[in-house]
Amino acid sequence: MPLFDRHPNLPNISLDLIDTANLIYEQLKSRKVAEIVLAEPETGLVVPNLVRSYLQAHLRRCLTFAEAGAAEITAGRPLVAEMCSRALYENVATICDFADKLKPLCDAVDYEGVKNYVSNAAFITRIPAFLAAHGDQIKAPQILNLIDDMAKRHPNYRTTYDHLSDIVHPNGLGAVVYFTRVEPGITRFADDAITPNSTRASIISATLLLLFVEVALTQTEERLVKLSADVMAGR
């Protein structure tokens, strides 16, 4: 059963785009593995599989938000789906940033550099007590910087993210505008949303962005295979 129904008349979302979102979701879902033995069987190297383990965790996070967004719309809670859409924007940006920063380390066959990078990236945080204990090398990057980086690949990335943020926060778009319709002499309320189809379009659009994750995973896997070969060749 597809994640998203072929719902007609969604804002800026054709039936073909719904089909594409479902295909991207299924492709990413097929990448899940139940476990990874850290030492590669052919090389005995551990670091490449540390990277793969990191990506498996973040892959599940992406799939969770896509699935939850679809489920919350079905359950009549589209505002929660808006939170899932916003989270997908952040997760896509994080994975792409990770892959971009990993690339030069792999290209330089910097095995220790890759090890240190993935070890720090796995436990990034903004909790002051953790940073005090372990240092700024695990400080999570400012998410808006990553969102702006994605805007270089997708022009509307930051604009849409800001719009979703305004809905997710207890501002006008996420409360009065979301649940009420003011008519002459009366205010009417919706328990789900005044325009639920806009929310449905948002989560489908956010799922389409997972194509960036698919590309990042494919390219990273190619780099890891080459890294292992180069390390074993003594380069």
Enumerate residue ranges in the chain where pLDDT < 70: 235
Question: Within a domain: residue 58?
Answer: yes
- List the one residue out of 221, 207, 222 whose CA is nearest residue 27: 207
User: Strands (DSSP E) along the chain, which ranges?
Assistant: 180-183, 186-189
Rounded Cα distance between 180 and 161, Å, is: 23
User: What distances in angstroms separate CA 143 from CA 95, 97, 100, 160, one per listed residue?
Assistant: 12, 10, 15, 14
pLDDT score, position 133:
92
pLDDT reported for residue 100: 97
Whole-angstrom Cα Rg for the chain:
21
pLDDT at 1: 86
User: Is residue 88, in this structure, part of any structural domain at all?
Assistant: yes
24 assigned to some structural domain: no
Q: What is the pLDDT of residue 9?
A: 85
What letter does residue 174 receive in the DSSP assignment? T
Neighbour-count burial of 30, counting CB atoms closer than 10 A to its CB (0-12 exposed, 13-18 middle, 19+ buried): exposed
Query: Does 76 fall in a domain?
Result: yes
The CB density around residue 75, as the number of other CB atoms within 10 Å, is 12
- Using the structure block, give the residue that is written with the tokens 């494919």: 218
Q: Is residue 101 part of a domain?
A: yes
- Which structural domain range is residue 122 located in? 43-140+195-232
d(CA 61, CA 147): 17
Helix (H) or strand (E) holding 33: none
What string of DSSP letters covers 89-151?
A: HHHHHHHHHHHHHHHHHHHTT-HHHHHHHHHHHTT-B--HHHHHHH-GGGBPPPHHHHHHHHH
Angle between the N-to-C axes of helices 15-29 and 196-208, in degrees from 0 to 180, rounded to the nearest 10: 50
How many domains does the chain contain in total? 1
Burial of 190 (0-12, 13-18, 19+ CB in 10 A): middle
Answer yes or no: is 99 within a domain: yes
Is residue 16 in a domain? Answer: no
Largest CA distance in the chain: 79
Q: What pLDDT shows up at residue 152?
A: 93
Lookup result for tokens 């793969």: 52
Which pLDDT score, from 0 to 100, does residue 194 have? 82
pLDDT at 235: 67
Q: What percentage of the chain's residues is helix, strand, coil (to nearest 5)?
A: 65, 5, 30
